[in-house]
Amino acid sequence: MTTVIVISFWIGLPYWWERSCNFTIGLLVVGHWLMINTLFYYYMGVAISPGYPPQGSLIPEAVTICKKCIAPKPPRTHHCSVCNRCVLKMDHHCPWLNNCVGFNNHRYFFMYIIFITLSTLFIIIFGFNLVYQEVWLGTNKDYETLIGHPIHFNISSGESSNNS
């Protein structure tokens, strides 16, 4: 994610700044809002416990016993083979969060997915215009304007190389 953000700033910011300063400021505000929300919900999904059944107490609604934990299991509780624990209202074990998604952190996981999708669409929409206008259509035949960017496009061979 960090690499995508750095490349977006380094290549996209000068491109959009040349076209409209006010539009670029709007893009920066929306982009930062998306990034902050994505990072917040990611952190909350990782940091919040998914919710485990209480240990050592009788659970009146527990009608089954977990075969792996040998503990009472409330309805909609499942055993996670990765965490080796029972999780309340377990959805799945998420490798991106390295945490189970369950009763306590499901809303944070869901919002993380929403914001990562919106952020990806934001980068695709505003990055597509740059690639389409400058590289595909070739509206700017002076490719030396891309010298300040970290990637120098070699259009003739279809390759890109570092500009260091």
The answer, yes or no, to whether residue 103 has pLDDT greater than 60, is yes
Give catalytic status of residue 94 as yes or no.
yes
State the pLDDT confidence band at 148, using cuts at 50, 70 and 90.
low
- Single pTM value for the model: 0.74
Cα–Cα dist 157/69, whole Å: 60
Mean local confidence (pLDDT), 55-62? 69
Per-residue confidence at 26, pLDDT binned at 50, 70, 90? Answer: very high
Q: Which residue is catalytic, options 80, 86, 94, 100?
A: 94
Residue 37: what residue type? Answer: N
Q: Residue 137 burial by CB count (10 A; 0-12/13-18/19+): exposed, middle or buried?
A: exposed
Q: How high is the pLDDT of residue 13? A: 80
46 vs 5: which has the higher pLDDT: 46
DSSP characters over 139-157: ----GGGGTTSSEEEETTT
* pLDDT at residue number 141: 53
Q: What is the pLDDT of residue 139?
A: 62
Cα separation, 153 vs 164, in Å, equals: 13
Per DSSP, the three-state class of 45 is helix
Q: Which residue has the higher pLDDT, 104 or 155?
A: 104
* Statement: residue 164 has pLDDT above 50: no
pLDDT tens across 105-140, in order?
999 999 999 999 999 999 888 888 777 776 676 665
Taken in order 97, 100, 105, 108, the sign of the CA dihedral is positive
